[in-house]
Chain A
Amino acid sequence: MKNLPTLFCGIFFALAFSFSGLILTGHIQLGGLEPSTETLVPSDDDPNVMVMEEGQTRYPLPLSGIAQQGKQVYIELGCIYCHTQQIRRPGFGADIERGWGLRQTVARDYVRQDRVLLGTMRTGPDLAHVGGRYAGDAGRDWNHLHLYNPQTVSPGSTMPPYPFLYETREIINEPSPKALDFPADSEYAPPPGYEIVPTRRAEALVEYLLSLRVDYSLPEAPIPE
């Protein structure tokens, strides 16, 4: 090849082609996606146009403040390298049969996220709907035990322990209500007279995990009956 302009134009257009085909087109299609009500209703003006229902909650919901801080902890610890946050459709993989979610996740589920943490590795289970599997005080307790040392509640797991998110301290007067409740004769329990309490970061991280729930329908992805 001797013709430099041809070579350079070719090099330029090769990448420009995929840049416009994938990135720009993708951005045009999805860049304006908004949260939506669970179902659409025909518009008053034109019954052929479907619009969102007035007064209904629009999903996905924004994260609470502490959950947002917990997301930052999730990012700092690199949880994404072993956990995805995407549920594949029924019949493709066993995501739904494993109870990882009630329906496939779709583009709209992620529109409120300033950093999208889809992930590509499942050394551990998917977490898109983990708040739907572990909820309330029980879920909170389980997550703290599991983060402090996964072997406590999930023997055989290869997940790393996060003891640095917890503080081991002497019980001064009364035990803290936040102290971790270890199974009897657990080898990971603190010595008598001591207790293990979550730091603010651990609490935020667990609130974030509890907030991960895809338990609402979207017009393009209803939860099947």
Chain B
Amino acid sequence: MSNDTSETRPANQGKASLEKAAMQDEQVQDIHAQLMREKEEPSEAFTPIPIFLVFVIMVLGFWAGIYLVLYSGEFRSDVFDPKFRAGSGEVAAAPEITLFDRGARIYRNQCAQCHQADGQGVSGVYPPLVGTEWVTGHPEVVARVLINGLSGPIEVKGNTYNGNMPAFGPNGLNLRPNELAGVITYIRQEWGNSASEMTVDMIEEYLDLYSARTTPWQADELREDLGPIPGEGSEPAEEAEDESADEGETDETEAEMA
């Protein structure tokens, strides 16, 4: 080992010369301790393959064949569903869900980012939806906002909010009528709000009225020219009754808006 940094090494000229070199003292020095204690270069025994492995391989191969036949969409380039079967019937219709539940789902996905899951909004930009006449009052007001959007300042529960509400009608994010009805129903009835539901028929009437409009509403136009509540329009008495029932709250909110 004293000479272990020696760079001399046997000339690579075949086994005979190596053997000779190995016998020379100087070369033996190079077969250093680390090399000396090494075991032989690796080799292999010839133990046979255990029978259970053959069995495992056969089972897996069998499964693979079945899987490929069943879930390969006939090797077509336009099939993306593993359960595809040529000529099979329509996919089962989605189960019916209530307007409120449909709205809850849409609210979570598309409204909660701004108005928050608890409907309290973010101060200064995104107004709260809880306990405000803008949401729980005349359904046409909230339908207008949803269909065409809203821009400019709006005063809600004593605070001013200045954000941009996107349009969700045909000129905007284009929710379907049942989705619009659902989400309006949801915000009018969640978090202690207890206003009437927005039916699909009602929202379709509003869509007929406002789909053509391309500009968002301003807060002060929202309450102008409201029609009768659809489905209840022929019964003004009932409407009046409703209003008187809400009177206290309405007064309060109107005072806020002034």
A contacts, CB < 8 Å to B: 29-30, 33, 89, 97-100, 104, 106-107, 132-139, 141-142, 153-154, 181-186, 215, 220-221, 224
Contacts and interface: CB of A to CB of B under 8 A. Distances in A.
A142 B123 contact: no
Nearest to B78: A220
A30 B76 CA distance: 10
15 contacts: A30-B77, A89-B81, A99-B106, A136-B149, A136-B167, A136-B172, A137-B151, A137-B166, A153-B114, A181-B125, A183-B124, A184-B124, A186-B124, A215-B174, A224-B94
Contacts of B3: none
A185 B166 contact: no
Interface string B114-155: 100000001111100000000000000000000001010000
Please report whether the interface of chain A is mostly helix, strand, loop or mixed according to DSSP.
Answer: loop
Given A134-B166, A137-B164, A185-B123, A142 B113 contact: yes
Contacts of B81: 89
B123 A153 contact: no
Top 4 A-B pairs, shortest CB-CB distance: A99-B109, A184-B124, A138-B164, A138-B166
A116 to B, nearest CB: 16
A91 to B, nearest CB: 9
A29 B78 CA distance: 9
Given A134-B113, A137-B164, A221-B80, 17 more contacts: A30-B77, A97-B105, A99-B105, A99-B106, A104-B80, A133-B109, A136-B149, A136-B167, A136-B172, A139-B166, A183-B122, A183-B123, A183-B124, A183-B126, A184-B125, A185-B123, A185-B124
Nearest to B107: A99
A33 B81 CA distance: 19
Nearest to A105: B80
A116 B122 CA distance: 36
A153 B126 CA distance: 10
A186 B167 CA distance: 26
A132 B174 CA distance: 8
A141 B164 CA distance: 8
A100 B167 CA distance: 18
Contact of B166 (A136, A154, A182, A184): A136
A149 to B, nearest CB: 14
Interface string B156-199: 00000011111100001110000000000000000000000000
Nearest to B171: A136
B110 interface: yes
A106 B163 CA distance: 36
A137 B162 CA distance: 13
